[in-house]
Amino acid sequence: MSPQFDHEKLKVYQMSLDFVELAEAILEDVPKSKAVYGQLDRASTSIPLNIAEGNGKFTGPDRCRFFDIARGFALECAAALDVLQRKDLAMDGQVLEGKACLLEIVSMLVGLVKSNSSDRVYEEQASYGEKLD
């Protein structure tokens, strides 16, 4: 059995690597001269790098900081996919698949932040369009 680091055991880390592959496939048809090419390439790569670095930290606040950064890069990737779609540089199916993957990554990262921080305050999220009393 090959050595395995702790971050490699995280489902969110494995899913972030899946997204890196998906982003690479999307970028195959995007000219490298487009600004969004570099943005998506760097942001998608930064998600697993920050998950790995955060998981290696010893304190909750340190872990949360890197998980928060990874979440920010995931949101940046979602916006980059929107830009590619609006510029007709990516197929709708690829964008939907990528955003579904990113939504799950963001959700898992929020869970990791919550589980590593007892001092943060959270409230239940309402569904989009749901009326609050």
Q: Specify the CATH number for the domain of residue 51.
A: 1.20.1440.60
Q: Where are the beta strands (DSSP E) in 1-133?
A: none
28 CB contacts (<8 Å, ≥6 apart)? none
Inside any domain, residue 55: yes
pLDDT digits (tens, 9 = 90+) for 48-98: 999 999 999 999 999 999 999 999 999 999 999 999 999 999 999 999 999
| CA 80/CA 57 separation, integer angstroms | 29
Tokens of 89: 């540089």
Rounded Cα distance, 26 and 107, in Å = 23
**130 found inside a domain:** no
Number of domains in the chain: 1
Instruction: For 88, list phi and psi in degrees, rounded to 5.
Output: 55, 40
- Tens of pLDDT, residue by residue over 8-57, are 999 999 999 999 999 999 999 999 999 999 999 999 999 999 999 999 99
Domain that holds residue 35: 6-115
